[in-house]
Amino acid sequence: MAGITSILLDLFIIFALAKTVAEVFTRLRQPVVVGEIMLGIIIGPNALGVVGEPAGALTEIFHGDPETAKEALGIVFEIMAELGVIVLLFFVGLETRIGDIVQVGRRAGLVAILGIAAPFILGLSFMLLIGRPQVEAVFVGTALVGTSTAIAARVLRDMGFIGSPVARIIIGAAVIDDVLSLLLLTVVTGMGEGDGIHFTEILIISAQALAMIALIALFGPPGARRYSLHLLRLRIPHAHLIVAIILMLGLATLSGRMGLAAIIGAFLAGMVLAESKESFDFERDTIPFYEFFVPFFFVITGMQVDPEVLLDVEVILISVGVIALAIAGKVIGCGIGAWGMGPRTAAIVGVAMSPRGEVGLIVASVGLSLATISHEIFSVVVVMSIVTTMLAPPVMVALFRGYQPEEPTKVEAPAPVPHVVRRPYQRRRQQGSGDDA
């Protein structure tokens, strides 16, 4: 009992401080997500240790072994963080119309592929140039590939731009990115295990993933439109909320079991429900989950950083180079992909795609667990993930100031829609000075 209470206390501290920081950052007009990550770094076990240190009562459960107790506490944190990122991507999906993604599909694909190629080649070349082993170079290249959909989506959401065309391209490209970078991680993992690249296995995972996404994207929305009214026949209260949670957890687990990130399934679940007649109800009723779970993801991601790694000179030098290339790779690659939309939009897309967040941290932990990379390179990848994550939001805030997006779909749009009925980001545009028109 006392062990459980000590975990509850940690969860309470994280939640209460995260909301305090959110209030302060909102008043300072700074992105809340940066505040949450910084909070995690400060209170985490590597710095102040306010949370994440198992209490004596918890250690007792694991027969007095503090290491195992810490790992068990880490599992609880990971589950809370995973539920947080699942709810976040579910929300992003709920605010994404499949028609909009298809409309921006070609552009998003271009942004994703160029945004993968550029940082991979830059990272690989840099590591080989400074004389690191080939497998480590391939690994760092892979770590630079992924985009944290979560961070980009959170900043877009916080600023009220989630419904804008540029947001659709960013989210679309980030989802394509996630799929492709996780496939690349599978390849690199095969290399790291030293028994060659399993092309058959990679092909199977790729085929499964693409089949799942295609099936859900094709049949989910019409199904949601047709069957949504049948929910009224269920006898349990709040049936549509329960169906939403089941679909969200179910697809997240399914995509996790298929070797993809669980967030892809959560995003697809949200996108399917966005097409149903009750999409507004789904969003209103799941807001409490958003408010409760999402901060855990960002605070706990911050907690994984060890501030001490920054004291090693070699780590600092390599980090600076890798961070520069991580940002340059995405800004150049994605920027070229989005060039036709105007320079400011291209810059926004490039910067929005640059935070590596949880994707970089996942690659880093896989590499370390396989002993494919040294502990220094692990630290470099972690620092790169954090710095790109923390740099992107303020730059995005600056770039969005007075931003007037250029419509990417002038030809395909059925008719010009009056400004008053557009999505919430419109409010911001009216306040801005419109210097990018």
Note the residues at the interface with a copy of itself (CB under 8 A). 1-5, 7-9, 11-12, 15-16, 19, 22-23, 26-27, 58, 61-62, 68, 71-73, 75-76, 78-79, 82, 234-238, 241-242, 245-246, 249-250, 252-253, 256-257, 262, 285-289, 291-292, 362, 366
Question: Which of helix, strand or coil describes residue 28?
Answer: coil
CB of 361 vs a copy of itself, minimal distance in Å = 11
Cα distance between residue 76 and residue 8, in whole Å: 10
SS3 324: helix
**Residue closer to a copy of itself (CB basis): 78 or 201:** 78
Which residue type occupies 129?
A: L
Query: Rounded to the nearest whole angstrom, what is the least distance from the CB of residue 347 to a copy of itself in the complex?
Result: 28
- What's at 415, amino acid-wise? A
For residue 356, which amino acid is it? R
Comparing CA positions, the residue from 155, 138, 174 lying closest to residue 337 is 174
Tell me 312's DSSP state: -
* Residue closer to a copy of itself, measured from CB, 106 or 427: 427
- Give least dist CB 266 to a copy of itself, A: 10
Q: Give the pair of three-digit tokens for residue 219.
A: 């049949």
User: Distance of CA 163 to CAs 92, 169, 391, Å?
Assistant: 10, 10, 23
Tell me, letter by letter, the H, E, C secondary structure of 239-290: HHHHHHHHHHHHHHHHHHHCCCCHHHHHHHHHHHHHCCCCHHHHHHHHHHHH
Indicate the residue among 311 and 371 with the shorter CB distance to a copy of itself: 371
Distance (Å, whole) CA 382 – CA 379: 5
Nearest distance from residue 35's CB to a copy of itself, in Å? Answer: 11
For 373: left if phi > 0, alpha if psi spans -120 to 50, otherwise beta; the answer is beta
- Which amino acid appears at position 166 of this protein? V
Q: CB of residue 294 vs a copy of itself: minimum separation in angstroms? A: 12
Complex with a copy of itself: residue 9 or 210, whichever CB lies closer: 9
Task: Give the nearest distance from C-beta 15 to a copy of itself in angstroms.
Answer: 6
As measured in angstroms, the least distance from the Cβ of 280 to a copy of itself is 15
Alpha carbon distance 246, 282 (integer Å): 12
Q: How far is the CB of 82 from a copy of itself (least distance, A)?
A: 5
Residues 6+ apart with CB under 8 A from 307: 41, 46, 47
Rank residues 58 and 108 by Cβ distance to a copy of itself and give the closer one. Answer: 58
> CB-wise, 236 or 420, nearer to a copy of itself?
236
Which CB, 26 or 134, lies closer to a copy of itself? 26
Q: Which is nearest to 268 in space by CA: 244, 285, 288, 293?
A: 244
Which stretch of DSSP H or E encloses residue 148? Answer: none
In the bound complex, what is the minimum distance in angstroms from residue 11's beta carbon to a copy of itself? Answer: 7
Nearer to a copy of itself, 256 or 402 (CB): 256
Helix, strand, or coil (residue 370): coil
CB atoms within 10 A of CB 219: 11
Give the chain's count of helices (H) and strands (E).
Answer: 18, 0
Cβ nearer to a copy of itself, comparing 104 with 245: 245
DSSP assignment string, 104-119: THHHHHHHHHHHHHHH
Strands (E), 143-246: none
Our CB check for a copy of itself shows the closer of 218 and 246 to be 246
The nearest distance, CB 425 to a copy of itself, in angstroms, is 16
